[in-house]
Structure 1
Amino acid sequence: MKIVAINGSPRTTRSITRQLAALVLEGAAEAGAETEMIDLCDLRVTPCTACEGCSINGICVFEDDLPTLVERMKDADGIVFASPVYIDNVSGQMKIFFDRLADAIHYQVLNGKYGCSVATTHTSGGDQVVAYQNHVLNYLGVITAGGVSVATGGIQEAVEAAEPDARVLGTKLAGAITDGFSAPEQDAEITGNREFFKDLVTENRDLRVEDYERWVRLGWIR
């Protein structure tokens, strides 16, 4: 069982967001998971230009670190999204990353995995950013096991007070992977998304034969 956390803070190793995500990973490790922290801002991820090139063959026109990052997510059983709150949303770097996941979303390449999200903020917006990140995970076909946000009030040590909740979240995520996790509302949303994306997959079936056949094998296209 492997769980990766993707930290979207530009402060990377100095960030309190990373500190919170690390506590989640520690809880997961105590439950038997192999864990990895990925600092998004150490990678090169180019903003999407909506050229729709990836729809042709699944390969982006930009040669950067995004394909490797997606493969690392595909190799994991669990995914943690972590971002600071910048003007009531995720960091700009995290949003660029999310926008580049369009093809992974359309083809549901992370289906069957589990995830969760964390956020840190000075005063407000943390819960909303957690909800948004979990929504993106659902778009990817990932069932989420919850989230934790911390309003620090400018006090870095405030994250320490959230340690018990963060560790419990990591344990819950690991348990979801090993034992399964029931989330009917999320299942319904993910199924609805697949139904919507099915037309795109069918339209491109001659260009992306393997991707189309995967959907057929999984029973998503009949």
Structure 2
Amino acid sequence: MFESRTGQSIMDMTKVAAEKARDMADEFFKLQNIDMAIKHLMAAKYFNPELPHIDDYFTAYRVHQLAANKKNCWYEILAIKDFNVDADTIKNHYRRMALMVHPDKNPSVAAEGAFKLIKSALDVLGNPVRRKAYDATISSESRSNPSKTTFATPNTGSPSTSGASSSSRKRASSSWGHIHIDPVSPSPSKSNPSKVTVVRCKNGKMQIRCFYLNAGEVGLIH
């Protein structure tokens, strides 16, 4: 009975950890730190692969990451690898992306901006004249070696329960590397020290100690 309660307690804690990491991701996005936001989503996916909308969060953040790293990367924003695709394929990619990042479907703070970016991509690539002009600006090197950036999310499998299995956690660890979360506050104060304890994941193993957050605090993954 004790082992059963302990196991359930750990599962509950991992769910809480996933939700906290997801919320931290949005906080870092608000601070315009997309890379840190994505790392927190990795942690959220690691703790709970079935966290609602987690893959949609990843898609929205990846769109922003692409736009930040490369100006006007319209094909990549629509997740198109072949620059010679026809108009119907472009529209199909847009529809698929729109379903994932539309603010009415995606609760992430990144959703609205991501939706505007994919709409801008369609405005260019869906117009034959504008697409031709845009294609002319793409160097022969970039055309032969399109961006390898994808919208993939951590390969944590499809567990039958909301608690990730040991094997799925190991896959997540090998896919994304080790995750290390330490507490940090955007506005640290000596009079209000952080109460967040350390959460560590390594080699598919997990340690969670007295896990909770103070209002307004954000975790830092590095």
- Shorter-normalised TM range: under 0.3
- Identify the structure with bigger relative contact order (alpha carbons < 8 Å, sequence gap 6+): 1
Q: Which has the higher strand share?
A: 1
TM-score scaled by structure 1?
Answer: 0.24
TM-score scaled by structure 2?
Answer: 0.24
User: Computing the radius of gyration over CA atoms, which structure comes out larger, 1 or 2?
Assistant: 2
